[in-house]
């Protein structure tokens, strides 16, 4: 009887640790994902003139329409 109670106790303790480990991994993954998105969103074009030259080149190559060029130009000039 005592051995059976001890086995159940060990099994329960193992299940608790497994659950806690899974929860910790999910939390860590969520935090990493959040930080990556935040870092990607905060990337700033450090040199607007370079960006404008690139936009002009894309417009000249026909890869951007006039509307796209104007929209992107406003974004570059307005900053973050």
pLDDT, tens digit, for every residue of 19-55?
Answer: 999 999 999 999 999 888 887 766 555 566 678 888 8
Q: Are residues 50 and 22 in the same domain?
A: no
Q: Are residues 49 and 34 in the same domain?
A: no
Q: What is the pLDDT of residue 43?
A: 58
DSSP letters, 27-55, are HHHHHHHHHHHHHHHT---S-HHHHHHHH
Domain with 30 in it: 1-43
Q: Are residues 71 and 38 in the same domain?
A: no
Q: Are residues 39 and 2 in the same domain?
A: yes
């Amino acid at each position: 009887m005592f051995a059976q109670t001890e086995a159940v106790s060990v099994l329960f303790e193992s299940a608790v640790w497994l659950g806690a480990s899974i929860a910790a991994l999910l939390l860590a993954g969520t935090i990493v994902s959040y930080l990556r998105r935040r870092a990607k969103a905060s990337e700033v074009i450090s040199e607007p003139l370079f960006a404008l030259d690139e936009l002009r080149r894309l417009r000249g190559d026909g890869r951007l329409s006039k509307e796209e060029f104007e929209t992107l130009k406003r974004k570059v000039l307005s900053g973050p």
